[in-house]
Structures are given as structure tokens and as C-alpha cells.
Amino acid sequence: MKMFLKGEWVGRDSRIDVVNPYDGEAFDTVPEATTMDVTAAVDGLVEGARAMRAMPAMQRCEILRRAAVLMRERVDDLGTIISTEEGKILAEGKLEVARAAETIDLSADEARRITGEVLPLDAAPGGVGKLGFTLRVPVGIVAAITPFNFPLNLVAHKVGPAIAGGNAVLIKPATDTPLSALKLVEVLIEAGLPEEAIACITGPGGSIGRAICEDDRIRKISFTGSAEVGKVICGAAGLKRVTMELGSNSPLIVLDDADLEKVATATVATGFANAGQVCISCQRIIATPGIHDDLLDELQPRVASHTAGDQLAEDTKVGPLVRQGDAERVAEWIGEAANNGARLLCGGEREGAVVQPALLADVQPSMRMSCDELFGPAVGVTRAANIDEAIKLANDTPYGLNAGIFTENLDAALRFAREVESGNLHINWGPMWRADLMPYGGLKDSGLGKEGPKYAIEEMTETKMVVIHGK
């Protein structure tokens, strides 16, 4: 495919292969953009921002509505593209399309709800006879720097609110998975979005990301990715607004009174979806003594039967990781834990980019398998003496994105909600759950700001204060 800038689909002599991670075969290419392409794209978006600022909310809403309809009509094609370039199984690819269409629809809803407020200025000294109200206006140009693991929906979470808020948007998709973002651009233009209001450039993240950060005409950066890269972007962004959706190593606390079957079901569902390549994937289980052994017995056969393979085969449950290097790292961390006292109960074998889902017991908090972000199909179980120790272990991390607990005790559930340092907290389910309308974001090194169309629009618009002075 070509990239899109200044209202045109553009190619370059230098190309980047788009690879199916299962077999390592290239099935498409995209241009390798340069910093000059960033400048050219922003040049075009300046005019697009003016057009979007003048566009009525009703029209922005209608464009997004049409785009959502087109996405649902193309669910099979879009889902196959997602699965082929990213590695998630076909069912997960099609589910992502459905979610992305919903995200665009939610953005359309919010385009009609951007409001200010009236202030009682006569409540302040000297305010008698004056009328005050606020207006929310677009920031101008929004840069969306997106990750590989949800190459359509996480683009939609940035592009939909940007358009709804009356902005132009520059998309920089992950180098491994650019096709889904380019297809979304096609859909939006077909739905009626002015061509000058959107750009999508493909290429290496380092140089392009730096150019985005340094261009003062871009007023907002929304980034999803690693904490390390997020810190670099924040350091280079200057006075730009930033939203950072960063990493995690999400814990699941399991207390003695938990429903074993529900815990096991949730662990498989939230620990191995997308081969564990989800920032809120269940990575750490912290179990108290009365349930610990029974939980392992319940989990082991379920995990062992959850085998990985070709993501395009209909019966595959878990696909490959996006890169073989990532699979090698995951297998290394699993082996490292097993060699240092953890028990590997099943899985962990690697072939190419495929790692079989793994379950480990006796995982120590100091092991990389526990304290860093694994981003792979493995779950480690750690024993805690009681809820006090469980909460302490859950918080013993620089991250704080999602966490879960299983308990029938209301007091314990509320204590978990109050004391665990996480932006999203789930009671009687695993940490990997998100409704696309909710405020989603982390604490500590897991990020800054919130996503979800309503909340993203708040950060992609600015407040103007208007005062009418009476006679």
C-alpha cells in the first residue's frame, strides 16, 4: 500500500515489508517515510485543521457514522488484514473490527455533545452585570502514534475523537502493522472526511516520532506503547498536550473464597488473548493459601489445551507473537524463571514466533517474568499469606494500568478498589477488560490522561472563556 499525505496516496522508492509473523513471509510493502514527509504531511494538515474547525458538529457526526457502517460491511476483509499483519487469530481480528466500528460510532455520538458552561460571574466581586461562558474549540492538529497489538481499534481511539472534536489528524502506525491504519484512512475518506484533514505516514518510529514531537504546529500527541518510548516523547514534546497509554504487568488477586471455575475461565480469557500481547493482559496471579493449590490444579489442564499455531487457521486458539525476537525474549524469561525456582507446569515451548501458552507456579516478585512487562502468553502464580500481602505485591511495581480481584467479600473488594494503585480495577474478573466508552488510562509509569471518546475529546479540545460586559 501507499501512505497518505497532502490529500494523495504517495509511494517511495524505499519500501518496508509487511510480514505475516507466523511464517515470516512478506505479503505487502509500505513506503519508508522520512522526516521530510512529516513536514509535508503537517503542511497539508494546517489547511485541514482550518476546514475541520469550520465544519459543523452534525457533519462531523455524519462522516463518522458512515465510516462505522463501512467498517461493519468490511469486517471480513479488515479482520483478515489485522490477523495477517499482527498475528492474532481470525476471531480476534474480526472482533477488533467490530470494536473499532463501535469506537467510531461512540466518537460520532460525542461530536454532538461538545459543550461549554455558563458561569455566574456576579458571584465574584465586580462581576455584577456580566455574563460569562466557555467554549470548547479544537486544538488543531493531533498526532496519533499507535501500537501494533490493536492496529485498528487503537487507531480508532485516537482518530475518532480527533475528528469528532474538529481536528485534523496525523497517524503514525506501528511499523509492523501499518495496513489496518491505512485501510481506516480509506474508509474515512470514502465516508466524506476532507482529504486534507488526515494523513498517515509509514516508516521507522525513531526519526519520524522525533520529527512529530519537534513540529510546533502539532498541538497534541496521543501515544500508545512502551513506557520507555513514552518518556522520550514526553521529554521531546515541549508544550504540546500529551496522552500516554503505556505498559503494565497486571495483577490478579485470588482470595480463598473465590469461585475456582470463574477464576480459571477469566485467567485463560485475559492471560492469553492476542498471545498475551495486551498491555492489560493477566500476567501475575497472587493467590492466598486456601485456594492456591486448587487453583493450579484447575488452571493447568485449561492452559495446556490452549495451544498456539497459525493465526489464519480457523481452529487456532492462540496466534504467534508479532516478531520472532519477541518470542525469543518471552521464552527466555520463562526459562529464566524456571531455572531460578519457579515451576513450569505447562507450555513455554517456542517455534519461530509461536510460544505455547505457559503456566508457572512459585514465581518470585523479583523475577522478570513478574516485575517487568512480559507481553507474551504466560501467566505466573505467586503465593501471598493474606490480602495484606496480596495488595502489597500488586502495588510493588512501577506500573498501574489494570488489576483484578476474585472474592465474595464486599469489604475485601472495596479495600482492593481503594488501595491497589491502578487506573482500572475489576472485581470478579481478570484485569484484561475494557469497554470502549469508559475512561481508560493508568497511574504511575502506565501513563498520563484518559482514552474513551468522551474523555479523549476533552484532551483534544481547549477551553475559551468569554465575558460579556454589561453597560
Q: Catalytic amino acids?
A: 245, 279
Q: Which residues pair with 145 in a beta bridge?
A: 172, 223
How many Cα neighbours within 13 Å face the side chain of 65?
Answer: 10
Report CA-CA distances (Å) from 244 to 18, 168, 222, 450: 26, 19, 6, 8
